[in-house]
Amino acid sequence: MSAPTRTVSQGRAFLGVLGRDLAVTGKEFGTFVSQVLVQPFFLLFVFGVVLGQLGYVTPGYAQLLLPGLLALNAFFVAVQATAIPLVIDFSYTKEIEDRLLAPLSTRLVAVEKIVFGAARGLFGSLVMIPVGYLVLDEVNWQLSGLPIAAVLLVLGALAGGAAGLVIGTLVSPRKINVVFALVITPLLFTGSTQFPFLQLGNLRWFQVICALNPITYVSEGLRGALTPAVPHLPAWVCLLALVAACLLFGAIGIQGFVRRALD
């Protein structure tokens, strides 16, 4: 078989496996949408509406909050969509063996898991946009920033999928709940989703912790693209950090996936 033919075959197999996973998501669409909307909706409603009407947050806070919640959903939905099924597949159902029998290299199967998780994360983020416009009264985005915002969301979702691959291949089923509590919860509150990163100057130690969280760069990048009046990091810093996160988590996750697949 010639190299171009093998490439086409691998490409078709990759799309076939990805399409199968997406089809399963389609069958569970209602459940999936409810899972990705409940937590961010209440965060949006309480912080953007309730606290605003009570006077505990300043006018315009919704402009800062909504991009952060889009970033949060893109990353976390991707993490969960990748990590939890992998833990189950490797430990209980052994369904991962069906994927490994496909005419794909083991590394490409791992990449497919990242892409699938990222697709769910991206969708989970996008469905928050109409919700935000319905719930909040002060959303006014700069439409010229939509292309860079789209790139940032894709990179954030891919970083989440890659991080989910790391968790799904390194954590045993008995410890997955503990890991999510110890890792995911801190990530939730250190991603600059509810506050601008640059205004943490008086809390330098906390700013350093936030700088280690990939979600920070999605949140800050989206604010810079959509609401440039809000203090934000430069776009090139956010893009570079997210590419680095994708490469780092991807390399560790793929290596872990190959090791688990060969066990």
- Over residues 110-121, the pLDDT tens digits come to 888 999 899 999
CA-based Rg of the chain, rounded to a whole angstrom? 19
Among 89, 24, 15, which Cα is nearest to 260's? 89
Instruction: Give the model confidence (pLDDT) of 209-258 as tens digits.
Output: 999 999 999 999 999 999 888 888 999 999 999 999 999 999 999 998 88
In the chain, what are the helix, strand and coil shares in percent, each to the nearest 5? 80, 0, 20
* Better-predicted residue by pLDDT, 155 or 184: 155
Count of CB atoms situated within 10 Å of the CB of 163: 29
224 phi-psi bin (left φ>0, alpha ψ -120 to 50, beta other): alpha
**Residues 6 or more apart from 122 whose CB is under 8 A from it?**
74, 78, 153, 154, 157
pLDDT of residue 263: 67
What's the predicted TM-score (pTM) here?
0.87
pLDDT at 262 over 80: no
pLDDT of residue 185: 81
pLDDT of residue 157: 95
pLDDT at 46 over 50: yes
| Structure tokens, 83 | 């990590």
